[in-house]
């Protein structure tokens, strides 16, 4: 049953491999054909004699890289023409398949000196004149820069050639365009010479002159650099600058090679260079021929990729079907195991919850038993031993009185026995008050804590004070909660006088803020050792009692010495019957 799907998968994989191999062969053949065509284009347009001469001399041909277009022209304008010239020079080199040497000079005078010494073979751009034609051969023009009229966008609609004589026309002082305008009817125009094309365009944008006459390259560059977005092209007056290659007159074959190379430059290649350096009015992207060429190429690529994806998808369908069935079986098995494991975890969790409940109940019972046992011991001391000690004190006082009446020397000893017994009775009463829970129906938590502070101060000889901002708001209605809070204060005071060294002052405070009670016990001793902050049984019992009061307990050892124990609780919490005391 499994052999048929496997055969189908194998046949699909073989078919896919064959299709991919066919596609690769077609692409390789196309690439080879394209490369062959490009290689042929470099060499087909030269004669064998020209190719031989070029191959023999291409490593020695020197190009002047820094010919000044006009010695007095600005550096900003030079950047435009230099970029255009460099792009055309590199394009000619690519057409010829050569790389000319560059001669770098710092000024036009240095270029002329190198030219006089015969160190320059090619000028990528040189203005043709009768004098220069004696030493140089010029190619046909490969670029013409027209003279244009630039005006503000606000007055473009009302502009016409007939009104030009009435307008202020800016021209660059000393530029070729100034001579061009004077030669073509300059007397009829109101020409305003300006420092440079840049300043003239800025003045036209600001309205200081009506229009600016310049060449297209300079206008494009300065409008983009200065952000003169309110200027527009109004008219074209004719070509001014013609870009030509010039070669030495003693090498006519080089002039022929350069002319043929320039002739190989296509219209699209010229347009790309032109668009790179001269951007005046940007047309919408969807009107660009390059956009549609790019879009067509992208669509073709998408179609090819889509076809490959469809073929790949058909191949994967069978494999996906097989893998899906296997995954379904594995998922069923996994779900079964998850259900079994979930049941086991549920049982374990229930057992753990029962164990936690039992431990909590046991802890409550232990504290409850401890509290009840404290109360029983306190009552026994008060009712039994206390009464007996009161009787002994009474008898000792009576005996001392009789002995004193008889002038017996033992009367003083009997009196001292009575004093000692009364002191023991006072100590027993303090012990009984510590063992018995707080009776809020009698005097309440505030009175009990205040009395505990006074007794601690008297017994241990330290400054122990208790503060309650508002006794009425600090009244605890639940006796069990009040008892737990009292036990926390009692335990904290015991820790302070027993474990903290150098304690001279203990501050106890009780307050209610934002509906929560805050009970603090703070001393100035040496602090609780770090190893005892979480391990002491007394601290654990205090935290447990704070939790019973619906709050939490924090213990902080201060950097300057001393310990601060703070219990935050909910005064509205009512403890259950039998809550530990």
The position carrying tokens 């893998």 is 323
Please give the Cα distance from 496 to 503 (Å, whole number): 7
Backbone angles phi, psi at 240, to 5 degrees: -120, -55
Residue 580 has a pLDDT of 47
How many C-beta atoms lie closer than 10 Å to residue 519's C-beta? 25
Count H helices and E strands in the chain, helices first: 16, 15
What are the residue boundaries of the structural domains of the chain, listed by start? 143-243, 442-569
Per-residue tokens: 358: 């039992």
Output the CA angle 124-128-133, nearest 5 degrees: 100
The neighbouring-strand residues paired with 148 are 214, 236
Q: What is the DSSP letter of 528?
A: -
Please give the Cα distance from 546 to 481 (Å, whole number): 9
Query: What three-state secondary structure class fits 550?
Result: coil
Please give the Cα distance from 499 to 533 (Å, whole number): 12
Q: CB–CB of 550/576 below 8 Å?
A: no
The neighbouring-strand residues paired with 567 are 519, 553
Q: What is the DSSP letter of 167?
A: S
Residue 75 has a pLDDT of 37
In terms of CATH architecture, what is 442-569?
Answer: 2-Layer Sandwich (3.30)
| CA 112 from centre of chain | 58
Q: CB–CB of 210/167 below 8 Å?
A: yes
Residue 1 has a pLDDT of 47
Q: CB–CB of 553/542 below 8 Å?
A: yes
Closest CA to 468 of 487, 447, 454: 447
Please give the Cα distance from 339 to 168 (Å, whole number): 93
Tell the burial category of 199 from Cβ atoms under 10 Å away from its Cβ (0-12, 13-18, 19+). Answer: middle
Backbone angles phi, psi at 342, to 5 degrees: -65, -40
Q: CB–CB of 389/421 below 8 Å?
A: yes
Closest CA to 209 of 217, 220, 218, 197: 197
Please give the Cα distance from 284 to 32 (Å, whole number): 37
The position carrying tokens 């975890």 is 345
Per-residue tokens: 217: 């390259």
CATH superfamily of 143-243: Periplasmic binding protein-like II (3.40.190.10)
Please give the Cα distance from 366 to 275 (Å, whole number): 94
Cβ contacts of 247 within 8 Å, gap of 6 or more = 121, 122, 123, 136, 137, 139, 254, 255, 258
SS (HEC) of 438-506: CCCCCCHHHHHHHHHHHHHHHHHCCEEEEEECCCCCCCCCCHHHHHHHHHHHHHHHHHHHHHCCCCCEE
Q: What is the DSSP letter of 395?
A: H
pLDDT in tens, 324-380: 888 898 988 998 999 889 889 988 888 888 887 777 667 666 666 666 666 667 666
Please give the Cα distance from 199 to 151 (Å, whole number): 14
Q: CB–CB of 104/66 below 8 Å?
A: yes
Bridge pairing between strands 168-172 and 231-243: unpaired
Distance set, CA 399 to CA 14, 81, 387, 410, 576 (Å) = 126, 135, 18, 10, 53
How many C-beta atoms lie closer than 10 Å to residue 492's C-beta? 25
Please give the Cα distance from 576 to 231 (Å, whole number): 89
Residue 434 has a pLDDT of 60
Burial 224-243 (b: 16+ CB within 10 A, else e): eeeebeebbbbeebeebbeb
Please give the Cα distance from 514 to 100 (Å, whole number): 89
Per-residue tokens: 338: 């998850």
Residue 441 has a pLDDT of 43
Residue 243 has a pLDDT of 79
| CA 307 from centre of chain | 40
Low-confidence residues in the chain, pLDDT < 70: 1-10, 29-44, 66-82, 108, 127, 174, 176, 185-186, 277-291, 360-361, 363-376, 378-384, 386-387, 390-391, 394, 429-430, 432-443, 500, 529-536, 560, 574-581
């Amino acid at each position: 049953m499994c052999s048929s799907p496997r055969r189908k998968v194998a046949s699909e994989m073989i078919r896919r491999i064959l299709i991919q191999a066919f596609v690769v062969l077609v692409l390789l053949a196309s690439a080879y054909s394209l490369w062959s065509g490009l290689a042929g284009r470099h060499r087909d347009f030269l004669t064998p004699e020209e190719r031989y001469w070029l191959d023999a001399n291409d490593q020695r041909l020197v190009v002047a890289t820094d010919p000044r277009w006009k010695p007095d022209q600005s550096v900003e304008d030079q950047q435009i023409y230099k970029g255009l010239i460099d792009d055309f020079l590199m394009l000619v080199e690519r057409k010829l398949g050569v790389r000319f040497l560059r001669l770098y000079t710092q000024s036009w005078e240095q270029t002329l000196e190198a030219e006089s010494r015969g160190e320059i073979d090619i000028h990528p751009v040189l203005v043709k004149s009768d004098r220069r034609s004696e030493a140089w051969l010029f190619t046909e023009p490969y670029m013409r820069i027209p003279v244009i009229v630039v005006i503000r966008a606000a007055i473009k609609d009302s502009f016409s050639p007939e009104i030009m004589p009435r307008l202020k026309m800016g021209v660059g002082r000393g530029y070729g365009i100034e001579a061009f305008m004077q030669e073509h009817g300059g007397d009829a125009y109101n020409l305003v010479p300006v420092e440079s094309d840049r300043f003239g365009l800025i003045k036209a944008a600001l309205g200081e002159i009506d229009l600016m006459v310049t060449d297209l390259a300079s206008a494009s560059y300065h409008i983009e650099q200065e952000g003169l977005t309110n200027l527009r092209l109004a008219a074209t007056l004719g070509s001014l600058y013609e870009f030509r290659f010039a070669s030495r007159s003693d090498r006519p074959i080089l002039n022929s090679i350069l002319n043929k190379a320039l002739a190989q430059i296509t219209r699209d290649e010229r347009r790309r260079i032109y668009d790179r350096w001269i951007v005046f009015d940007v047309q919408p992207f969807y009107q660009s021929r390059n956009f549609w060429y790019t879009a067509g190429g992208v669509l073709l690529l998408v179609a090819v990729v889509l076809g490959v994806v469809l073929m790949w998808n058909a191949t994967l369908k069978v494999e996906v079907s097989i893998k899906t069935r296997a995954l379904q079986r594995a998922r069923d098995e996994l779900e079964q195991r998850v259900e079994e494991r979930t049941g086991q975890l549920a049982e374990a969790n229930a057992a753990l919850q029962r164990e936690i409940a039992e431990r909590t109940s046991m802890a409550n019972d232990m504290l409850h038993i401890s509290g009840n046992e404290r109360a029983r011991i306190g009552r026994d001391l008060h009712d039994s031993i206390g009464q007996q000690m009161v009787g002994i004190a009474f008898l000792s006082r009576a005996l001392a009185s009789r002995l004193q009446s008889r002038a017996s020397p033992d009367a003083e000893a009997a009196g001292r026995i009575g004093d000692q017994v009364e002191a023991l009775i006072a100590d027993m009463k303090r012990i009984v008050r510590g063992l018995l829970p707080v009776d809020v129906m009698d005097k309440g938590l505030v009175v009990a804590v205040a009395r505990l502070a006074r007794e601690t101060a008297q017994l241990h000889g330290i400054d122990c004070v208790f503060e309650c901002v508002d006794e009425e708001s600090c009244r605890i209605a639940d006796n069990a909660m009040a008892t737990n809070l009292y036990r926390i204060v009692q335990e904290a005071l015991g820790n302070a006088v027993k474990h903290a060294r150098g304690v001279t002052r203990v501050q106890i405070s009780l307050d209610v803020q934002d509906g929560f009670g805050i009970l603090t016990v703070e001393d100035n001793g040496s602090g609780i050792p770090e190893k005892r902050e979480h391990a002491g049984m007394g601290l654990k019992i205090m935290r447990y009692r704070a939790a019973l009061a619906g709050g939490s307990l924090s213990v902080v050892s201060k950097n300057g010495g001393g310990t601060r124990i703070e219990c935050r609780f909910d005064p509205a919490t009512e403890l259950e019957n039998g809550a530990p005391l």
